[in-house]
Amino acid sequence: MRAPLLLTAALLLTACTNTPDPSAGTCERRMECGNLEGLTVEECAAAEQARLDRLSGDTRATCAAAIDACLDGATCDDFRACHADIDRTVCPCPDPSVRIVDPVDGQTIGAADDADPSDAQLQYDFVVETVCFEDLEQVELVLLDPVESSYGFGRPDMTGRATIRVPLIPGANRFVARGMTTAVTSTEVSVNVSP
Digit-coded pLDDT (tens) for 88-133: 677 777 778 899 999 999 999 999 999 999 888 899 999 999 887 7
Residue-wise pLDDT for 133-179, tens only, equals 776 788 999 999 898 888 889 988 877 889 999 999 999 999 999 98
In the listed set 88, 112, 134, which residue is the last one of a domain according to the structure?
Answer: 88
What's the rounded mean pLDDT across residues 31-39? 79
Residue among 118, 97, 88 nearest 160 (CA) = 97
Instruction: Identify the pLDDT of residue 101.
Output: 95
Q: Which domain holds residue 47?
A: 2-88
In the listed set 88, 105, 129, which residue is the last one of a domain according to the structure?
Answer: 88
In the listed set 41, 61, 88, which residue is the last one of a domain according to the structure?
Answer: 88
Instruction: Sort 180 into a burial class: Cβ within 10 Å, 0-12 / 13-18 / 19+.
Output: middle
pLDDT band at 8 (very low <50, low <70, confident <90, very high): very low
Residue 25's contacts (CB-CB under 8 Å, 6 or more residues apart) are 68, 71
Residue among 55, 42, 94, 89 nearest 69 (CA) = 89
Of the two residues 143 and 52, the one the predictor is more confident about is: 143
Distance between CA atoms of 50 and 23, rounded to whole angstroms? 9
